[in-house]
Amino acid sequence: MALILIGEESAVERRRLRQILEDRDWVIVEADNAPYCLELIEVHRIDCALLNVLMSGIEDFQVFQALENRNIPAIAISKADGEKAVQHWLAIGANAVLEEFPSAIEINQILSFALNLEQLKPPIKSHHTSEILLEKEIEEAIPLSIDTLKNLIGIAVEQAAEVLSELIDSPIHFEIPGINRITFDSLEPELEKIFGAKIICAAQLAFRGGFSGIAQLLFSRSSTELLTSAIAEEEPGSPDFEEAKEEMLTEVGNIVLNSIIGTIGNAITTEVTFDVPIYLEDSISNLMRATLYLDLQNKSPALTYNSSILLAQAAFTIQQLQVAGDIILCFRLDGRD
């Protein structure tokens, strides 16, 4: 549940803004001047700030600086209209500017964008040329910064975790994904470092459209059996166990992978095509050679030997079942064939 800071001198307008935000079940803290805003920022873990730029003390810009230092999105409400006024407040540190007395629709849209997609948060600044080039290459293939992509994956897996938690009646913990750029040739060795030579059970989803690649949900064989017993209520060795295991992992993969790819697609408002995940079981080496580069439904390569790849990995655990798994996303950075 997000915590929103309202900075507004007018008690009437604060009441109106609070009502709009509380209708979305967001938690509100209020200030009627800039110094009090600074105090609230120090005390509370603010998720986003909605600030009237005519508020007392706001012109010294300390509030915007404090928010920027904490990577908190700031939405400025300005009486002055026109491009010049907007550019002024964007330069000061606002992430977006609304005209005075914004409507509920305008407020909800801009805050949802800031809170759920994290697009308004400024990217981590880097002075390393290689990192700047990587950001540029990624944004050409997927028009998102690395930080935004991580945030979107995090949002998607949390949503999927809620659904899975109900299925297995156990909380699920996800780790923040790591994202690296690699070449096709280094993809298999990189995955073997993570998973070794053991047999892996996978739900695999090829996707293409506005961006393309492969998404996999991976479990060890023992973890897959534990999940099958918990979800399908089939025990290893039973006549229907193997079929239940395949159906279970395909369905879990469908929940998790569709959530991730769908969330990213929605964020960049592009159409992405994908089908029901396929079930695979083999070593990483054999999985790579046999199927990873082929979209089986469309009989065409999702990744090729010339592909430059963005590898995203997120690990998760289901403590009650002692199950651990990984999500692997391979985005092509060099377009499609």
- Strand-pairing partners, residue 180, are 311
pLDDT at 305: 60
Radius of gyration of the chain, Cα coordinates, nearest whole angstrom: 23
81: exposed, middle or buried (Cβ count in 10 Å: 0-12, 13-18, 19+)? exposed
Q: Which of 70-79, 112-121, 296-305, 324-333 has the highest mean pLDDT?
A: 70-79
Domain boundaries, the chain: 3-117, 130-332
Residue 124 predicted with pLDDT over 50: no
Looking at residue 141, its pLDDT comes to 58
Least confident of 4-13, 50-59, 62-71: 50-59
Reply yes or no on whether the pLDDT at 311 is more than 70.
yes
More confident residue, 135 or 211: 211
What does the mean pLDDT of the chain come to?
78
The maximal CA–CA distance of the chain, rounded, in angstroms, is 73
Residue 133: what pLDDT? Answer: 41
Question: Is CATH 3.90.1150.10 the classification given to domain 130-332?
Answer: no
**40-44, 148-152, 307-311, 320-324, range with the lowest pLDDT:** 307-311
Contact 50, 5 (CB under 8 A): yes
Angle, alpha carbons 256-297-184 (nearest 5°): 75
Q: What are the φ and ψ backbone dihedral angles of 33, each rounded to 5 degrees? A: -155, 165
Cα torsion 248, 250, 254, 257: sign:
positive
pLDDT for position 1: 67
pLDDT score, position 81: 62
Top mean pLDDT of 34-43, 51-60, 195-204, 279-288 is at 34-43
Give the residue-averaged pLDDT of 147-162: 81
295 has a pLDDT exceeding 90: no
Determine the pLDDT at residue 244. Answer: 93
Q: What was the pLDDT predicted at 302?
A: 63
Please say if the pLDDT value at position 165 is more than 80.
yes
pLDDT value, residue 243: 93
- With left for phi above 0 and alpha for psi between -120 and 50, is residue 325 left, alpha or beta? beta
Check whether 319 has a pLDDT greater than 80: no
Average pLDDT over residues 128-153: 60
pLDDT at residue 213, as a whole number: 82
User: First CA to last CA across the chain, in angstroms?
Assistant: 43
Tens digits of residue pLDDT in 13-65: 999 999 888 887 788 999 999 999 999 998 888 989 999 988 877 776 789 88
Mean pLDDT for 88-99 is 82
The yes-or-no verdict on residue 230 having pLDDT over 70 is: yes
Percent of the chain with pLDDT over 90: 13
pLDDT of residue 262: 86
Question: What separation in angstroms does the CA of 285 have from each of 161, 191, 192?
Answer: 29, 9, 7
Do the beta carbons of residue 18 and residue 31 sit within 8 Å?
A: no
Topology alike, domains 3-117 and 130-332 = no
Would you identify the CATH topology of the domain 3-117?
A: Rossmann fold (3.40.50)
